[in-house]
Chain A
Amino acid sequence: MYNLNLESLSKRIIKGKFKKILIQLPDGLKQKAENITKFLEKKTKAKILIWLGNCFGGCDIPFQVKNIGVDLIVQFGHNKYIKEKEW
């Protein structure tokens, strides 16, 4: 129903030589984490981590995972967020 674009995503992961990847899903898609992880692990051989916390939008990216060696964050269900300078 909602296109996860996993084939295209795995190609980008292989091309970018990403090794440790965090996938982040909004609540409505969290059940897809199992299939996404299995697919990407098999296709890319990268280590896949799943964000357990919230995913409110493009405004909500857990950059702190770079501290544990994550080199790519894939956020599903949203597109790029344009941040305003002031509130």
Chain B
Amino acid sequence: MVKIIFVPCEFDEEIFLDENSIKSLKEKKINSLFIFSSVQFNTKNIEKQLENIGIKIKKTKAKRTLKKGQILGCDCYSDSFSEDIFNSSSDILYIGDGLFHPFSLLLAQKENFRKNIFVFNPLKKSLTILTIKDIQNIISKLKRNLRIFLNAKKIGIISSTKYGQNYLESCFSLKKEIEKKGKEVFVFVCDFVDLKELENFSFIDCWINTACPRIGLDDILSTEKPLINLKDALNIYKILDS
């Protein structure tokens, strides 16, 4: 058996909020904040700074992460967290240098958007706010794809062989469910999901992704082929009605 070592590559400098960011957060009159970050950043100094201006710090665990406060790109559904952070009275702050991870926190609210996401970039020392406008293009395309799925006759389910993205049993359960609705279902297997490959199977009317959930969200903007995630296929009416 091959052994695995993970090297998280922590940022090797202490990180702090700058004065402007502290001022902006103070002006928002925030009582408490859920803090998230990528694995690279140690947020303890920032937590102390926030507590010093009267903001209570809260941390929750995203389901696929090892520790509280960490977030991954795949934590992008409302049930991806150990508590209901979007219906709580606390605001949300992400600390990190990219947008892929904080977008999870937007996408998790696509059916019922409640909270903007504060993002502090410790390298640029800048505080920005992500809102529903930042994912409006994804939501519109997703709704278009879901409508196509409703009327589609031939469905392709995509299963990845990647260790952490393989849910073949879920694929077959889904196949059974969809076949009950009179649709034909074909299961496709690959390692990396190359969206260009979808073009080669033109008999498929709509694709359902069971690999990385960000494929059925962000990546749908890169293909005209209708593609949805397994979970969205199951919650179809909730999304279309939102």
Contact = CB atoms under 8 A, between A and B. Distances in A.
Nearest to A74: B5
Given A80-B6, A82-B63, A1 B164 contact: no
A66 interface: yes
B8 A78 contact: yes
A33 B69 CA distance: 29
Given A75-B6, A82-B63, 19 more contacts: A1-B13, A4-B7, A5-B9, A18-B3, A56-B212, A57-B73, A58-B164, A59-B163, A60-B162, A60-B163, A61-B163, A72-B2, A73-B5, A74-B4, A80-B6, A80-B66, A82-B64, A83-B164, A87-B230
Interface of chain B: mostly helix, strand, loop or mixed: loop
A59 B215 CA distance: 14
A82 B66 contact: yes
A74 B7 contact: yes
Contacts of B2: 63, 65-66, 70-73
A63 B118 CA distance: 37
Contacts of B85: none
B40 interface: yes
A79 B5 contact: no
A42 B226 CA distance: 50
Contact of A58 (B1, B3, B6, B210): B6
A1 B12 contact: yes
Contacts of B34: none
Contact of A59 (B3, B192, B212): B212
A14 interface: no
A35 B104 CA distance: 33
Contacts of B241: none
B24 interface: no
Contacts of A65: 2
A23 B126 CA distance: 33
A33 B210 CA distance: 31
B72 A57 contact: yes
A39 to B, nearest CB: 12
Secondary structure dominating the interface of A: loop
Contact of B39 (A60, A63, A78, A86): A78
Contacts of A87: 167, 170, 210, 213, 230-231
B11 interface: yes
Interface in A35-73: 53-54, 56-61, 63, 65-66, 70-73
B7 A53 contact: no
A31 interface: no
B110 to A, nearest CB: 17
Of the listed residues B12, B162, B191, B192, the one surrounded by the most CB atoms of chain A closer than 10 A to its CB is B162
A56 B165 CA distance: 11
What are the 7 tightest A-B residue pairs by CB atom distance, in nearest-first order?
A59-B164, A2-B9, A66-B2, A3-B12, A87-B167, A87-B170, A79-B8
Contacts of A56: 73, 162, 212
B84 interface: no
A75 B4 CA distance: 7
Contacts of B191: 53
